[in-house]
């Protein structure tokens, strides 16, 4: 059972990790953290009381429960390896909660390594973006040991609604399944909106009716205000969705499951990256399709 005296660590203080850390600090927890660059954590240190650590190992040494929020498999492996890595600091009784979206195979491998130290690793990928983190309304899928999950569930409930879905790796598969739909929905909305615009309809007017119709999922409704004018700082960028789509396709090939929507979405995401949109929010898929349908694209 966790209490506010439980010491929390956080490795990775980017858009998602930084906002999660702010919520946990606001809830009264003591949080130790590290990031690739300290400047990214300056506000958390100065204004919110984050206790800075220089290495992932120092975070693990200081905390009872360690979170990580990192972009991909390579980043996770980088912060776990070596004498300054997260794994070197975990001890019996510790819990490592990874809210990153990574490959199911890496998740299972790391869980096995963590068990050797007497600690536990939980996959806890989340569905939602920065607004949901700030509101504490994330959907959190958890894979791993049931007892470990029950001990940390009160902490996870500060961030959203956690549900244990099964063993290590299974939560990652479910998150990838969700992101297939997320990408396909965003692409389908962009396609339909472009069709309406080319028919002479005002895109803002069409977008409002589309998201008020039966297709208006919570994700599409949340992004509707930024489809025609994407923000400078993405909630969830095209590069990250492209990474998740490739992880999903890898899992599909491994399990011999056809994923045609993921395949087509991955093609458009690859084109978006070639056009320089990789750090734009996925709402920018509308601008991507506009570029792909422009005079230069038709001439090619």
Check if 175 is active-site: yes
Q: DSSP string of 123-182?
A: E--EE--HHHHHHT-EEEEEES-HHHHHHHHHHHTTTEEEEEEESTTHHHHHHHHHHHHH
Separation in Å, CA 215 to CA 66, 149, 207, 210: 38, 35, 11, 7
Torsion from C-alpha of 4, 42, 124, 2, nearest 10 degrees: -10
Rounded alpha-carbon distances, angstroms, from residue 155 to 45, 135, 151, 162, 250: 21, 15, 9, 10, 32
Provide the token pair at 256.
Answer: 């011999």
Beta strand 8-11 with 65-68: parallel, antiparallel or unpaired? parallel
**Tokens of residue 119, six digits:** 């600690």
Q: Burial letters for 190-213: b for 16+ Cβ neighbours within 10 Å, e otherwise? A: beebbebbeeeeebeebbeebbee
Single out the catalytic residue among 175, 221, 243, 274: 175
CA distance 142 to 90: 20
Identify the residue whose tokens are 């997320």: 182
Q: Annotated active-site positions, please?
A: 175
């Amino acid at each position: 059972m966790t209490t506010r005296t439980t010491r929390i660590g956080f490795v990775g203080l980017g858009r998602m990790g930084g906002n999660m850390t702010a919520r946990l600090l606001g809830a009264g927890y003591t949080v130790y953290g590290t990031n690739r660059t300290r400047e990214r954590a300056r506000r958390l240190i100065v204004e919110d009381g984050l206790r800075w650590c220089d290495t992932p190992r120092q975070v693990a040494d200081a905390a009872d429960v360690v979170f990580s929020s990192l972009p991909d498999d390579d980043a996770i492996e980088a912060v776990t390896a070596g004498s300054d890595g997260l794994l070197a600091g975990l001890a019996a009784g510790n819990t490592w909660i990874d809210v990153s979206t990574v490959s199911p195979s890496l998740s299972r491998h790391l869980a096995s390594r963590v068990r050797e130290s007497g600690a536990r690793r939980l996959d806890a990928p989340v569905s939602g973006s920065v607004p949901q983190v700030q509101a504490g309304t994330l959907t959190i899928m958890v894979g791993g040991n049931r007892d470990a999950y029950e001990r940390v569930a009160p902490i996870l409930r500060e961030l959203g609604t956690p549900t244990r879905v099964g063993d290590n790796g299974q939560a990652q598969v479910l998150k990838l399944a969700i992101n297939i739909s997320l990408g396909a929905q965003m692409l389908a909305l962009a396609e339909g909106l472009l069709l309406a615009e080319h028919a002479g309809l005002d895109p803002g007017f069409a977008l409002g009716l589309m998201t008020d119709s039966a297709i208006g999922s919570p994700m599409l409704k949340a992004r509707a205000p930024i489809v025609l004018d994407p923000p400078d700082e993405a909630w969830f960028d095209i590069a990250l969705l492209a990474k998740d789509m490739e992880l999903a396709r890898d899992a599909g090939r491994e399990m011999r499951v056809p994923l045609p929507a993921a395949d087509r979405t991955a093609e458009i995401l690859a084109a978006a990256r070639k056009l320089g949109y990789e750090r734009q929010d996925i709402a920018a898929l509308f601008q991507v399709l506009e570029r792909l349908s422009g005079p230069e694209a038709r001439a090619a």
